[in-house]
Amino acid sequence: MIEIRSVGVFCSSAMHVEGVYEKAALELGEALAQHQITMVYGGGAQGLMGKTADATMAHGGRVIGFMPHHLREYEEPNWAITEMHMVDTMHTRKRLMFEHSDAFFVLPGGFGTLDETFELITWGQLKLHEKPIIFINVNQYWDPLESLIKNIFEQHFAKPEDKNCFTFVRSVSEAFQALLKTPEPPSPEHIGELV
Ligand code: AMP
């Protein structure tokens, strides 16, 4: 099994989503703290990401955030976390989140969530890493995306082995089950360098 000490969390920055999503964010934060897994994220105080971070902290966990300076115009940094780092660009944020995370959980979110997640899926496709990426399909939110991905494979727009780059689960507890039974990658020397 790979050792998981930290998980990058991608999820919504939106404030007005249904309660079922907030419940999952709180559950995820509590579970990260219980498993003594550090949460790594974009550092915002609002939306599902802020809720997850606050819940992790409230249950005695550790949270690291990376926010580009220019984003302060739109998003309030969450100063109540273990380490809040202001960085120069979105790309620096993504690189640091990647480097500090052993795996990734994807709760429901919008374009930002999709952007961050698909960049890492494509890095996996290019064999730049083998870190697990787990979509948590709360309230069947990701069903249309799962259908699209199925179509991508059926129509041969991705190779069958690319299915190994990510997993869909239905709940926070299933996400931890999937994460904690992830086998060791076979040969780290084949993993490429990120540029
Ligand atoms: P959203 O899913 O649209 O609510 O966005 C979730 C988070 O993704 C927000 O905190 C955004 O700052 C972040 N985000 C959006 N686009 C990017 C990007 N290109 N690179 C890194 N983070 C992003």
Q: Cα of 114 to ligand 1 centre, how many Å?
A: 8
**For the CA of 93, the nearest atom of ligand 1:** 21
| pLDDT exceeds cutoff 70 at 77 | yes
pTM equals 0.92
Q: Give the closest residue (by CA) to ligand 1 atom 5.
A: 112
pLDDT confidence of residue 185: 64
| pLDDT exceeds cutoff 90 at 9 | yes
| 3 state SS for 27-49 | HHHHHHHHCCCEEEECCECCHHH
CA-to-CA separations, 55 to 39, 50, 94, 145, in angstroms, rounded: 11, 9, 23, 27
pLDDT digits (tens, 9 = 90+) for 13-52: 998 999 999 999 999 999 999 999 999 999 999 999 999 9
**For the CA of 43, the nearest atom of ligand 1:** 10
Write out the H or E segment, with its range, that includes residue 124. helix 111-125
pLDDT confidence of residue 81: 98
Task: Give the residue-averaged pLDDT of 146-173.
Answer: 97
pLDDT confidence of residue 195: 43
Structural domains of the chain, ranges and CATH numbers in brackets: 6-179 (3.40.50.450)
Cβ 125 vs Cβ 165: under 8 Å? yes
